[in-house]
Amino acid sequence: MSQQQIVLDIHERPHPVKWLTLSIQHLFAMFGATILVPFLVGLSPAVALISSGVGTLAFLLITRGQIPAYLGSSFAFIAPIISAKGSLGPEQAMVGCFLAGLVYGIVALIIKGTGIQWVMKLLPPIVVGPVIMVIGLGLANTAVNMAMNDANGQYSSKYLAVAFVTLAITVICSVFFKNIISLIPIFIGIIGGYIFAYTQGLVDLTAVKKADWISSPDFYIPFVTYTPSISLGIVLVMVPVAVVTLSEHIGHLLVLNKIVDRNYIEKPGLHRTVLGDGVATMIAALIGGPPNTTYGENIGVLAITRVFSVFVIGGAAVVAIMFGFSGKVTALISSVPTPVMGGVSILLFGIIASSGLRMMVDGKVDLGDKRNLVIASIILVLGVGGAHLQLSEQVKIDAMALSAIAGVILNLVLPKTKGKFEKQVQQIQGQKIS
C-alpha cells in the first residue's frame, strides 16, 4: 500500500475547520448504531454518547495514540442487558457490564505474558461465527415487533409503513450510493424515517421545545445512585459475552492492520488494544452506559477517506461528549418513534447475523467436516431456540451465554484435523501487511 495514498497519517493534525468536518463524519458513522443500543435496552442515549466518547479517548490513551479506532455501543450485550435488567435489576446489569470489561483486563494481562495463541485456540471462527449469528437472529423478534406493533402491542399498519420507509431509505443508501453515504446508511435512514413518521403524526416535539441546550443526563453511578453488589447470576449472564466481543475486537484489529498498513498485533500489542476496549466498557458501566466496542462503520470511513489521524478520532469523541450534554439533542433522540428504530433494526440485526456467517467463510471453516457441523448446529439451536440453565431462582445462564460456553467446550473436546489451527495462528502472528 503506497504511503502517497494517505491523506493524513496517524499523528498528523488537520486544520481546525477540516478537523471538525472530518470528526463529525466519524460521529455520523457511529451515531445511529450507538443510540440504538440504549434505545433497545432502556438506558440513556445521552449517557451512551458520553461513554462512547470518553471510552474512545481512554482507548487512544492506552494504545499510546497509535490506533485510529472509534468505540461505540456494543450490540453483543443487548440481550444479556435486557435479561439481567428483567431478572436481576438495572443495578446488577451495570455491575455485569463492568465485570465483562474486567475480563478484558485479565485477558490483556495474560496475553502480555503468554502471547495470543491460546486466544485463537479458544475463539476460532467455528465458535465465534455461529455465536455472532445467534446475537443477530436472537434479536429478530425485537426488530419486527418494534416495526409492526404500536405502544399497546397491537398490529399497526401505520407503524409498519414507517418501518418499511425507514428500511428502504437505509437499504438504498447502503447499496446504491458509494463513498461516505454508503457508510452512514443507518444515520440517513433514521433521519428519513423520522421525517416520514412526522408526516404520519407519530412525532411529538414537545419535549424538544422544552429542553435546555445544556443539561446533565441521567447518569447511573455506583455508590451515588445505587449500591452495587455482585451475584453469581449476573456473572453467568454477562461475562460469557466477552467470548464474542474479544473475537470481534481481534477481527477489527486485523482489518485495521490492512487499511493503515501497520501490524497492531505487535505494536502497540494486542494486550494494549484489549485493555483499551475493556477500560472503555468499564467506564461506560460506571456512568450507566452500554458496553463499548470498536466500530466497523468507522473503520470503513478510514478506508474511504484515507484519513488515519487519531486527532480526528479524538475530535469525534469530544463532539460525542458535547452532544451527550445537550438537552435538545437528547430530547430529539428520545422523540424518534419506535417503528423508525424498528426499520433500521431489521437490517442491522440481519447484518450482525450475516457477519457471523462471513466470519466462518473468511476463516475457511469447512462445514463438510462433521466436527464443525456439530459445533455450529448446537450453538445455533441453543442460542436461537432460547435454551437456558436455571441453576436457582436468581441464577440463570441465558441462551447466548449457554451457546457460547457450549461452543467453546465442544471446540476443545472434539477431535480435529491436525495442523489446521497451527497454520491459522502462524498466519496471524506472522501476518505481512500488503
Quote the longest CA-to-CA distance of the chain. 66
Instruction: Please give the pLDDT value at position 392.
Output: 73
Instruction: Enumerate the domain spans of the chain.
Output: 3-366
Taking the C-alpha atoms of residue 353 and residue 1, their distance in angstroms, rounded to an integer, is 31
Taking the C-alpha atoms of residue 230 and residue 235, their distance in angstroms, rounded to an integer, is 8
Instruction: Please give the pLDDT value at position 434.
Output: 36
Instruction: Please give the pLDDT value at position 428.
Output: 57
For residue 164, pLDDT over 90 is answered with yes
The dihedral through the CA atoms of 177, 181, 183, 184 has a sign that is: negative
Strand partners, 73: 292
Instruction: Please give the pLDDT value at position 181.
Output: 81
Instruction: Please give the pLDDT value at position 147.
Output: 95
Average pLDDT over residues 270-298: 94
**Backbone phi, psi, residue 330, to 5°:** -60, -45
Instruction: Please give the pLDDT value at position 85.
Output: 87
pTM for the model: 0.86
**Residue 412 is placed in which grid cell?**
476443545
Which of 10, 269, 242 shows the shortest CA–CA distance to 128?
242
Taking the C-alpha atoms of residue 367 and residue 416, their distance in angstroms, rounded to an integer, is 13
pLDDT digits (tens, 9 = 90+) for 50-67: 999 999 999 999 999 999
pLDDT digits (tens, 9 = 90+) for 303-313: 888 899 999 99
10 Å Cβ neighbour count for 18? 13
Instruction: Please give the pLDDT value at position 211.
Output: 93
Q: Average the pLDDT over each of 54-58, 226-230, 420-424 and give the range with the smallest value.
A: 420-424
Which of 403, 417, 404 shows the shortest CA–CA distance to 372?
417
pLDDT digits (tens, 9 = 90+) for 371-417: 999 999 999 999 999 898 887 776 777 888 889 889 999 999 998 76
Query: In 329-392, where do the E strands start and end?
Result: 389-390
pLDDT digits (tens, 9 = 90+) for 313-332: 999 999 999 999 999 999 99
Per cent of the chain over pLDDT 70 is: 95
The pLDDT confidence band at residue 183, using thresholds 50, 70 and 90, is: confident
CB 280 within 8 A of CB 8: no
